[in-house]
Amino acid sequence: MFRLKIVPDDTNFNFMAPWKYTFGLSMILVVASIVAFFSIGLNFGIDFRGGTSIRTEATQPIDIGAYRDAIAPLELGDVAITEVFDPTYGPEQNVAMIRIQAQGEAESVTPATLSQVEAALQGYDDTLQFTSVESVGPKVSGELVQEAILAVIAALGAVLVYIWLRFEWQFALGAVAALVHDIILTIGVFVVLQMRFDLTTIAALLTIVGYSLNDTVVVFDRVRENLIKFKQRPVEEIINLSLNETLTRTLMTSFTTLIALISLFVLGGDVIRGFVFAMIWGVFVGTWSSVYVAAVVVKRLGVKRDWGKGADKAGTQFKTSDAK
């Protein structure tokens, strides 16, 4: 039966050889991301900063780029424009949603500014009408920030319990360490590049947690199988063997995911670009952390060598003296 092979079956990369340098690099980047977060800060979008949402309707097709160019001279800061699709709309019912960040200390965009936005857009399309205007105040945006943080913490907690029940506490700590690493580095790159951070980015973070966890669980499952199968081999060799055995799967999954993500990044437009960028970054750091964070933590903490009955009498418990 035909089976695509990215790497030969006898591949034997020594992934663990430079673990001190790779793990150290990850920790340096984590610390740098935390420092950048507190010194520079995130470029929060309207969801977290507050602002005004304007719903428009026109008979002509919506050109998001033209809408953005018409509003740009007003210098309103962060402006997000999306087209609203609904199967119930007719061919002459083109609806768009325009979100404008809060201006200074004001809770919403002033009527004078709204009039300027309306005049600018109607200068491009005189059929355009403003059908509704809604404001997101500081209180609502603050609640969204709290809920976003709770969502990420809840996801990490669920992962900790899941891995602990499926494997052992050492694996659980390794998986959570890798996920925290991925989240912090993703936030760090958004800080450095000053990309808009909004609810779609939170969705990307949670998706990265799922992607990285999937890769980590595959590696851990193979590590556990090999720990039972090869009771006399050093744990570092077992981890290397497991990483090599899952290397084809890791490369195939990452490659096919990146094909879709890069296509969305190039062709998807400005609305989803932040989400897609976070996902592309997450594929790289998620794959990295599965090897050089999660596996290293398990190596250093030590694990049981046999989950079968009588394992405690077999003398196969991993000793911390094996760690280098």
299 shares its domain with 238 = yes
* Same domain, yes or no: 33 and 78: no
Question: Does 7 reside within a domain?
Answer: no
Q: What is the CATH number of the domain that holds 265?
A: 1.20.1640.10
Q: How far apart are CA 157 and CA 150, in angstroms?
A: 10
**Residues 39-59: tens digit of each pLDDT:** 998 887 777 777 788 888 888
pTM: 0.73
Bridge partners of 134, per DSSP, are 53
Distances in Å between the alpha carbon of 125 and those of 75, 96, 262? 20, 13, 33
Say if 287 falls within a structural domain.
yes
Quickly state the pLDDT bin for 139 (edges 50, 70, 90).
low
Instruction: Pick the more confident residue, 19 or 309.
Output: 19
The pLDDT > 70 percentage for the chain reads 84
Rounded to whole angstroms, how far apart are CA atoms 131 and 145?
28
Contacts of 216 (CB under 8 A, 6+ apart): 174, 175, 178, 289, 290, 294
**Residues 274-287: tens digit of each pLDDT:** 889 999 999 999 89
Three-state SS at 250:
helix
Query: Both 87 and 235 in a single domain?
Result: no
Do 215 and 122 reside in the same domain of the chain? Answer: no
Distance CA 209, CA 270 (A): 23
Q: What's the whole-number average pLDDT of the chain?
A: 80
CA 248, CA 53: separation in Å to the nearest integer? 47
Distances (CA, A) of 185 to 195, 208, 267: 14, 11, 25
Same domain, 32 and 114: no
pLDDT for position 259? 92
Structural domain includes residue 11:
no
- pLDDT-based confidence at residue 38 (cuts at 50, 70, 90): very high
180 and 129 share one domain:
no
The predicted-structure confidence for 211-228, as pLDDT tens digits, reads as follows 888 888 888 888 888 888
Instruction: Write the DSSP assignment of 37-71 as a string of letters.
Output: HHHT--EE-HHHH-EEEEEEEESSPP-HHHHHHHH
Place of tokens 């809604």: 134
Q: Mean pLDDT throughout 260-279?
A: 83
pLDDT at 189: 93
State the Cα–Cα distance between residues 40 and 138, nearest whole angstrom. 21
Q: Average pLDDT for residues 248-273, to the nearest whole number?
A: 84
Q: Do residues 155 and 257 both lie within one domain?
A: yes
Domain assignment present for 211: yes
Highest mean pLDDT among 78-82, 135-139, 249-253: 249-253
Residue 121: give the domain boundaries.
51-136
Write the CATH number for 70. 3.30.70.3220
> What's the confidence (pLDDT) of residue 1?
47
* Domain match, 113 and 34 both: no
pLDDT band at 30 (very low <50, low <70, confident <90, very high): very high
Looking at the structure, tell me whether residues 145 and 253 fall in a common domain: yes
The SS3 call for residue 299 is helix
- Residue 51 near residue 101, CB atoms below 8 Å: yes
**Among candidate residues 86, 121, 136, the one where a domain is terminated:** 136
157 in any annotated domain: yes
Tell which of 136, 167, 189 closes a domain. Answer: 136
Per-residue confidence (pLDDT) for residue 185, from 0 to 100:
94
Domain end position, chosen among 79, 108, 136 = 136
Domains of the chain: total: 2
pLDDT value for 82: 80
Do 226 and 89 lie in a common domain? no
User: Greater confidence, 32 or 86?
Assistant: 32
Query: Over the stretch 72-89, which tens digit does the pLDDT of each residue have?
Result: 888 777 787 888 776 667
What is the Cα Rg of the chain in Å?
A: 25
DSSP state of 317: P
Confidence band of 155 (pLDDT split at 50, 70, 90) = confident
- Identify whether 1 is part of a domain: no
